[in-house]
């Protein structure tokens, strides 16, 4: 397959990727077959449609998504629907039922194959294995192992037979998104990009024969890592497509690296990727394709009424339990993107700092799952906004190490959609020079931070357990000056009480984290 392509460029601020224009020439005679691959990723329990615009158009939701998938399955002869990880976590329905509701709903959608994302592990490994048994669809992964037995945790691959063609699928997850698994000593993995590419090679060596017409890798590692992975995969492996997730990247066109087509479909259910391909049976190559990111709305397809009714059963139970009003804000607060300071992030960080009585509160931006909340806040709103009910603890570190933390979390390469970014409390002012790639100022209570003074820092339990990757400090370094102190076993409880006790509170973006060139 000859491909002419331009250099790939990425817009990290909008997380929209500009990708190549591709030109193909197809020989006159060949045995070919057309396939349509529909793909989602990072759905995060985004079950319900939302009304947008003056016309009241419905956007997203699984009922509309199912309606479109059903429509394509009726219109096209050979249709596959795949999901590249993170089906669970992010909605109150999913949290209340610990992913069981999601698996039941996914069984209704009936994807052909699914890969693991990092959030599939949020309820613990034993619960994941229970959810896998619930699934009526295969979940594939090539590089997670039960270390004691050197045996893969999940089904390593799937060969789907469609229209007389054989399509090989496998799944990959890597170290960037494996933080939660470090809590489980039973699990090991080949999780660097180099090891992941080698595991793909193993699958292809063992199972890819002359009958395999197409090879597809479902990844949950982020778009930039997909580009790097494609470079590492040997041409002999014969990989044709990477369908990715994790970075929530919106593409305008596919990327092509090492003759591998790379796509991703943003986040949630507001859109779905559609890849129409023509495969040559003799050469086992893609000879033509087109890809689009399809907006899911009520102009596209009719909602699936049966699925709508099925989801409503879960929704009604959750509404009855969580509709109590816990407080009111002076204005709505927003959290549009993770990589910068937000008004909603400021509220959460200030609540944690007040409860912990600490100098610095570091709140994982990814813990905040909604883009807006208020002014009236119900218990349902709060749990949907902040579904991760983690502990909060307080640590003591010196100013030098505190500067190390801010230098690490504010660097540009951490703010590309794949890193772990943070919200901070009102006493903090940090300034980062992106041209010089360094932290130029860090002040607490308007005073520049000296290297030798001790400061108290509060963290969620998840971020302490993954402190090396996320903060560039080890657990030992966080605990060496003084013994850590458990502040609360429930971050959600802290937020509920803070909002109840601070009626009509107002927060705004005020320069707690500043970046300049």
**pLDDT tens-place string over residues 285-313:** 899 999 999 999 888 888 899 999 999 98
Q: Is 231 exposed, middle or buried (0-12, 13-18, 19+ CB in 10 A)?
A: exposed
Residue 124, SS3? coil
Q: Is the pLDDT of residue 7 over 70?
A: no
Residue 138 included in any domain: yes
Q: Is the pLDDT of residue 365 over 80?
A: yes
CATH code of 413's domain: 3.90.780.10
Residue 183 included in any domain: yes
Q: Is the pLDDT of residue 24 over 50?
A: no
Q: Is the pLDDT of residue 181 over 80?
A: no
Regarding whether 339 and 249 lie in a shared domain, the answer is no
Please compute the mean of the pLDDT values over residues 44-55 and round it to a whole number. 66
Residue 21 included in any domain: no
Regarding whether 433 and 342 lie in a shared domain, the answer is yes
Residue 24 included in any domain: no
Regarding whether 349 and 257 lie in a shared domain, the answer is no
Regarding whether 338 and 442 lie in a shared domain, the answer is yes
Which of 255, 283, 314 terminates a domain? The answer is 314
Give a three-class secondary structure readout of 236-291: HHCCCEEECCCCCCEECCCEEECCEEEECECCCCCEEEEEEEEEECCCCEEEEEEE
Which of 314, 347, 376 terminates a domain? The answer is 314
Residue 170 is classified by DSSP as: E
Regarding whether 297 and 338 lie in a shared domain, the answer is no
CATH code of 297's domain: 3.60.21.10
Given a contact cutoff of 8 angstroms between Cβ atoms, the answer to whether 475 and 469 are in contact is no
Regarding whether 356 and 212 lie in a shared domain, the answer is no
Residue 137 included in any domain: yes
For residue 72, the model assigns a pLDDT of 96
Percent of the chain with pLDDT over 70: 89
Please compute the mean of the pLDDT values over residues 392-404 and round it to a whole number. 97
Q: If we measure between CA atoms, which residue out of 404, 412, 442, 419 comes closest to residue 365?
A: 419
Residue 221, SS3? coil
Confidence label for 30 from pLDDT (cuts 50, 70 and 90): low
Regarding whether 380 and 304 lie in a shared domain, the answer is no
Q: How many structural domains are present in the chain?
A: 2
| 439 Cβ contact list (under 8 Å, min separation 6) | 403, 406, 407, 410, 430, 431, 432, 433
Model confidence pLDDT, tens digit, residues 329-345: 999 999 999 999 999 99
Give the structural domain span for 75: 29-314
Regarding whether 128 and 78 lie in a shared domain, the answer is yes
| 480 Cβ contact list (under 8 Å, min separation 6) | none
Which of 314, 332, 366 terminates a domain? The answer is 314
Please compute the mean of the pLDDT values over residues 146-161 and round it to a whole number. 88
Confidence label for 5 from pLDDT (cuts 50, 70 and 90): very low
Regarding whether 61 and 196 lie in a shared domain, the answer is yes
Residue 20 included in any domain: no
For residue 147, the model assigns a pLDDT of 72
Residue 46 included in any domain: yes
Question: What residues pair up with 121 in beta bridges, in sequence order?
Answer: none
Start-to-end Cα distance in the chain: 43
Residue 2 included in any domain: no
3-state helix, strand, coil in the chain (%, to 5): 30, 30, 40
């Amino acid at each position: 397959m000859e491909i002419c392509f331009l250099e790939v460029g990425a817009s990290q601020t909008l997380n929209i990727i500009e990708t190549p224009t591709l030109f193909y020439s197809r020989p006159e005679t060949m045995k070919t077959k057309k396939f349509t691959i529909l793909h989602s990723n990072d759905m995060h329990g985004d079950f319900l449609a939302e009304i947008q615009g003056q016309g009241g158009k419905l956007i997203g939701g699984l009922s509309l998504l199912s309606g479109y998938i059903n429509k394509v399955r009726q219109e096209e002869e050979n249709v596959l629907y795949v999901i590249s990880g993170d089906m669970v976590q992010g909605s109150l329905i999913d949290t209340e039922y610990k992913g069981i509701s999601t698996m039941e709903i996914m069984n209704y959608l009936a994807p052909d194959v699914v890969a693991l994302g990092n959030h599939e592990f949020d309820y613990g490994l034993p619960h994941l294995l229970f959810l896998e048994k619930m699934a009526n669809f295969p979940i594939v992964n090539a590089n997670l192992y039960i270390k004691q037995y050197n045996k893969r945790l999940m089904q390593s691959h799937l060969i789907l037979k469609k229209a007389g063609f054989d399509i090989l699928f496998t799944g990959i997850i890597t170290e960037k998104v494996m933080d939660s698994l470090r809590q489980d000593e039973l699990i090991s993995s080949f999780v660097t990009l180099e090891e992941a590419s080698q595991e793909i090679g193993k699958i292809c060596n063992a199972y890819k024969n002359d009958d395999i017409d197409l090879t597809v890798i479902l990844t949950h590692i982020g778009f930039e890592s997909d580009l790097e992975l494609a470079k590492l995969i040997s041409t002999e492996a014969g990989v044709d497509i990477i369908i990715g997730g994790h970075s929530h990247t919106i593409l305008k066109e596919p990327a092509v690296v090492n003759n591998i087509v790379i796509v991703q479909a943003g986040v949630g259910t507001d859109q779905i990727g559609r890849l129409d391909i023509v495969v040559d049976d003799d050469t086992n190559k893609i000879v033509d394709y087109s890809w689009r990111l399809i907006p899911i709305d009520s102009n596209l397809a009719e909602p699936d009424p049966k699925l709508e009714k099925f989801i409503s059963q879960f929704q009604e139970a959750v509404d009855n339990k969580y509709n109590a009003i816990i407080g009111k804000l002076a204005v709505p607060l927003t959290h549009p993107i993770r990589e910068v300071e937000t008004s909603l992030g400021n509220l959460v960080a200030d609540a944690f700092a007040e409860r912990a009585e600490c100098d610095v509160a570091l709140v994982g931006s990814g813990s905040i799952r909604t883009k807006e909340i208020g002014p009236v806040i119900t218990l349902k709103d709060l749990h949907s906004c902040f579904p991760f009910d983690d502990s909060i603890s307080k640590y003591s570190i010196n100013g030098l190490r505190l500067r190390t933390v801010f230098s690490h979390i504010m660097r540009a390469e951490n703010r590309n959609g794949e890193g772990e970014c943070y919200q901070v409390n009102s006493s903090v002012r940090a300034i980062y020079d992106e041209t010089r790639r360094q932290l130029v100022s860090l002040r607490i209570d308007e005073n520049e931070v000296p290297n030798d003074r001790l400061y108290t820092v509060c963290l969620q339990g998840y971020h302490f357990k993954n402190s090396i990757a996320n903060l560039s400090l080890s657990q030992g370094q966080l605990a060496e000056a003084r013994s850590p102190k458990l502040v609360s076993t429930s971050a959600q409880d802290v937020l509920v009480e803070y909002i109840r006790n601070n009626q009509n509170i107002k927060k705004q973006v005020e320069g707690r984290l500043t970046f300049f060139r």
